[in-house]
Structure 1
Amino acid sequence: MRTVDKNQLKDKLLEFLQLVELEGEEILVTDGNKPVVKISQYESSPSTPELFKNMRGKVKYFEDLTTPTTEEWQEV
């Protein structure tokens, strides 16, 4: 990860954005020694069906959660 002061970023913003876009480099922008912003490539989030595809068919759904089930609890 490259660290850049905000004044440097202001002068060479397009150059740094191209570095992020083309090479995947992350840039940490600082104000003095204080980190302010991290610039990285945009990553799209998976859709809900993609995210939960492995759970399909494995979840039990009950109409009324207060209704007793036939399953008994084991005593410990």
Structure 2
Amino acid sequence: METHISKSQFKARALEYFRQVEADGKPIVVTDHGKPTLEIRPYQPRDRDPLSLLRGTLLRYEAPTEPVAADEWEALG
């Protein structure tokens, strides 16, 4: 479960919250009048190859070159 804190609480203890996120990796949501406005979370570089994100996620790969029958389309969705 993510932690929700108000802007005033965050302002008073920002460094403490930064260290908490670094230590446990759990995001903190900063609210303004009860509405979420910001999320503080660990940095993750985005310069990864998009295909590397998908590597290992394919569960089954049977006959990839065979045509798909009309009644099998529903099963693929």
- TM-score (structure 1 length as normaliser): 0.60
User: Does residue 9 of the first structure (1) align with residue 3 of the second (2)?
Assistant: no
Partner amino acid, structure 2, of 1:8: Q
CA RMSD of aligned residues (A): 1.9
Structure 1 stretches of 4+ with a deviation exceeding 4 A read none
- Structure 1, unaligned runs of 5 or more: 55-76
Equivalent in the alignment of 1:25: 26
Distance 1:18 1:38 in 2: 14
Partner amino acid, structure 1, of 2:37: V
How many residues are aligned here?
53
Q: What is the percent sequence identity of the aligned residues?
A: 31
Equivalent in the alignment of 1:73: none
Equivalent in the alignment of 1:35: 36
Partner amino acid, structure 1, of 2:8: N
Deviation at residue 45 of structure 1 after TM alignment = 1.9
